[in-house]
C-alpha cells in the first residue's frame, strides 16, 4: 500500500532540505521523483487531510509518492525535524485517489539547492599574510598622523 508525503514550506529551499531529510534521516523511500504542486493546492490538501483550518499559507510545495506504508512513514517522520510541514496522505484520506490519478501529471520538483553567497575568503596563506600586513600599515599610519587642534 503506497502513500504520499505532502511537503509545504515558506520557500523551495526548505522543501528541498525536507525531502532530503525524509530520505536520509527518516529512511523514507520514494517510489517516484517528487512533484511540484501549486502552493494553494497544497494548502487545500492540508485542510482536507488534517481537518483543521489553515494557520499559515505556504509559498512552495512538493508531493512525493512513498514506498513505505503510511504508518511507518509517520513514525519515522516523528523522529526527525525537517524544516517544512510534512503531511502523510494514506489511502484512507478522500484526496488519495485524486492524487494517485494526477501525480504523474505534475512537473518534477527541482531538488538542486540554490547556493548561498559566501563571504570573500583568502585562497592562500600568503593572501592572508598580505592582508594582515596591509591592516597593520593602515593602523600605523593612523597612529602617526598628528592630531590637529584649532
Is the pLDDT score of 1 beyond 80? no
**Residue 10 clears pLDDT 90, i.e. is over it:** yes
Number of domains in the chain: 1
Is 59 within a domain?
Answer: yes
For 97-118, write each residue's pLDDT tens digit: 999 999 999 999 988 877 777 6
Residue 142 lies in a domain: no
Measured between alpha carbons, how far is 62 from 7 in angstroms, rounded to an integer? Answer: 5
31 within a domain of the structure (yes/no): yes
Which CATH number goes with the domain that contains 21?
3.30.70
Q: Which range of residues forms the domain containing residue 61?
A: 3-105
Amino acid at each position: 500500500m503506497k502513500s504520499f508525503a505532502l511537503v509545504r514550506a515558506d520557500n523551495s529551499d526548505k522543501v528541498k532540505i525536507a525531502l532530503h531529510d525524509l530520505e536520509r534521516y527518516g529512511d523514507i523511500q520514494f517510489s517516484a521523483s517528487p512533484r511540484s504542486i501549486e502552493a494553494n493546492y497544497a494548502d487545500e490538501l492540508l485542510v482536507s487531510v488534517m481537518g483543521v483550518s489553515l494557520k499559515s499559507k505556504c509559498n512552495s510545495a512538493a508531493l512525493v509518492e512513498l514506498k513505505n506504508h503510511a504508518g511507518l512513514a509517520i513514525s519515522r517522520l516523528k523522529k526527525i525535524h525537517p524544516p517544512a510541514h510534512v503531511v502523510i496522505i494514506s489511502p484512507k484520506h478522500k484526496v488519495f485517489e485524486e492524487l494517485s490519478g494526477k501525480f504523474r501529471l505534475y512537473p518534477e520538483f527541482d531538488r538542486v539547492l540554490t547556493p548561498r553567497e559566501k563571504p570573500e575568503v583568502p585562497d592562500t596563506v600568503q593572501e592572508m599574510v598580505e592582508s594582515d600586513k596591509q591592516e597593520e600599515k593602515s593602523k600605523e599610519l593612523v597612529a602617526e598622523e598628528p592630531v590637529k587642534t584649532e
